[in-house]
A and B are shown apart, each in its own frame.
Chain A
Amino acid sequence: MGAIHNKNGLRLEKADVTLGFIPLTDCAPLVIAHEKGYFASEGLNVTLSREVSWAGIRDKVGLGILDGAQMLASIPVASRLGVGGPKIDMVSAMVLDLNGNAITVNNQLYNHLYEIDSRSEFSPLIAAQALQCLIEENKRSKRPKLRFGVVYPCSTQSYELRYWLASAGIDPDRDVEIVVIPPPKMVTAMTDGDIHGFCVGEPWNTLAVQQQIGHVVATKYQLWNNSPEKVFAVSESWSKDNPATHQALLRALIKACIWLDKKENRRLTAKIISQAAYIALPEETVALSLMGSSLKHHGLPPEKVDDFHVFHRYSANFPWLNHAEWFISQMYRWGQLTTPVNIEETVAAVYKPGLFRIAAAALGIESPSIDRKTEGNLHEKMMLTKSQHIGPNQFLDGKIISVGGIIKYLEKQNLSKADIPALRLINAQKEV
């Protein structure tokens, strides 16, 4: 095969590329880059492969069956450490979206929470506290544990559910039972009474509310404003063998994300991604959250949340190293990772802000000049004019993580299984 040149005259190592995605609202960047011809204009011939499990996507990228894929932001980090699966060296140079998940509980559980404190309707913190009361009551009456579903053990959703539970002192490993269920089966599992609640990406929460089987008690946005959700990941060796192709993919995906962030394009997005080849659900179900409407309770109008899905603004696509650090902190907190590792080195091997900067610069887009930022210090109300470069970043529990202060933050987390002295020993010189 001869050398393939794209329109900029750059040689692509590989023009035929297969990318994996999971039928979720935030597969949109890949689908839009494909449908709007952004891949094609980079000289790429992309085949999108609909996948059904995160383990499948992870292994296929590791084995080279897929060239790259949409992935939970935590997976490349967990795989580098061999947490919750085999050790696979992957890299991610781009975040595809922020926010987008929610925690839904079934009607019966919601009614209990509402009886205990009616403010559970709008406050995730109070809903968690009400749940804690209910769990104590269940323990006294020797009732079985409540069951919650997540989509993958080391998923953003798993850490979000755990964060919410722990905010009220509920131990996710002792006080409730967490099971893994694939996204398309989540709503059915709730209908069948197999689970009492779940944390999953859209459109499955909206679907549960529309089918009147559950209520949303917290959104990912409320748990940690504008936190990373999906990334575009490739294997490390693939990225080394195909640097120009990787850059071309990144440019196409950034263009798709810019297009996706425009309000006026969201309706069309819903129309495209709800099709049978992608999500295969009614357009109206997919459209709601994309249009900035957070549907939490049936019978009540949806809340206006413009940032329910963020694809580009607030430097969303930049792979912040401190975000990867947060995932590692949660792996330690919940005992998924026990061996102390050098956190700074690990995240720098996985998230590649340098590669992102090259792709962004080629499109004339400015990137942050720093690789890490403080989290938890910017409240919605502090953002006087809606800045395009930085957004609110508050945590549900009001905690702040300073740059280089991940261990200090981890030390303050309740119910933590982390061995702080051992971590300090390896990361000592790094801490501020």
Chain B
Amino acid sequence: MKLLLIDVDDIRADKLAPIIAWTGIDMITINDSNADIYQLVGEMHPEIILVDTNSPNRDTLEHLAQLQKNAPRTVIKLENTRSEGINRLAAEAGISLYAIDAVPTALLQALIDIAIAYFHSIDQLRYEAEHIKPIIEARQVLNKAKRFIMDTYGLAEDQASDLLSKNADRQRRPVTEIARQLLDTGSFI
């Protein structure tokens, strides 16, 4: 089975490639604005096409579907019911789906589900990772400051922590700020 990926940028294509490869479908990526879509589809006979929702080539794909009875055609419903998946595929991943009639609905549904899940989870993970960065940084600063106190004053770790928080309380400033200052200037005040 062949899947043609048209006008989907590398970032999204790279996300899709591993899951498509894992299913055993051949994925062919076309990202050339001058590509002759008539020739490509005519020669490759793909069963499924994933195309950027905002690709100018979409109207040409519609024409191909009209010219050839066995060419992939737009799928916006599955078994006559509105599919939340197709909607999310277009809205969140910016991808529209074309398939030949012979591709079973179950396969399409599975493909959509996994594509969305994958897109979503990767983006979510990236977002979350981005979000946690300041917290990680603060942790590192605190650890460094504690190590500094332990080395300078010969204190144990819990005593170093205590010293930091006491100073923070007294000055009504956040602990990380005190820690940062300590590392920069060597002084609590």
Interface residues of A (CB under 8 A from B): 51-56, 59-60, 62-65, 84-86, 88, 151-153, 179-182, 184-185, 336
- What is the chain A residue whose CB lies nearest that of B37? A180
Set of chain B residues within 8 Å of A62, measured between Cβ atoms: 76
Chain B residues near A182 (CB, 8 Å)? 56-57, 59-60
Q: Closest approach, in angstroms, between the C-beta of A149 and any C-beta of chain B?
A: 10
B87 within 8 A of A: yes
A interface footprint on B82-101 (CB within 8 Å = 1, 0 otherwise): 00001100110000100000
For the complex, give the distance between the alpha carbons of A153 and B67 in Å: 9
Tell me if B58 is interfacial: C-beta within 8 Å of chain A. yes
Extra contacts besides A54-B59, A59-B90 (14): CB < 8 Å: A52-B54, A52-B55, A52-B56, A53-B54, A53-B58, A54-B58, A55-B58, A56-B54, A59-B74, A88-B76, A181-B59, A182-B56, A182-B59, A182-B60
Shortest CB distance B69–A (Å): 12
19 A–B contacts from the bound complex (CB under 8 Å): A53-B57, A54-B62, A55-B58, A56-B53, A56-B58, A59-B74, A62-B76, A63-B76, A63-B90, A63-B91, A65-B90, A84-B63, A85-B62, A85-B74, A86-B77, A180-B59, A180-B60, A180-B63, A182-B59
Within 8 Å of chain A (Cβ to Cβ): is B61?
yes
Contact partners of B60 in chain A: CB under 8 A: 179-182
Pick from A65, A88, A153, A184: contact of B63, CB under 8 Å: A153
Interface size class of B (residues with CB under 8 A): 20 to 34
Q: Which residues of A contact B62 (CB under 8 A)?
A: 54-55, 84-85, 152-153, 180
CB within 8 A of A336: which of B54, B57, B66, B74? Answer: B66
The minimal Cβ–Cβ distance linking A198 to chain B, given in whole angstroms, is 13
B38 at the interface (CB under 8 A from A): yes
Query: Which of B53, B54, B74, B90 interacts with A86 by CB under 8 Å?
Result: B74
Partner pick for A60 among B55, B57, B61, B90, CB 8 A cutoff: B90
Residue of B whose beta carbon sits closest to that of A87: B77
Interface-centre pick from A56, A65, A181 (highest chain B CB count, 10 A): A56
Alpha-carbon separation in the docked complex, A180 to B62 (Å): 9
Cα A290 to Cα B15 with chains together (Å):
46
Q: How far is the CA of A85 from the CA of B73 in the complex (A)?
A: 7
The smallest beta-carbon distance between A241 and chain B, in angstroms, is 14
Report whether B87 and A55 are in contact in the complex, using a CB–CB cutoff of 8 Å: no
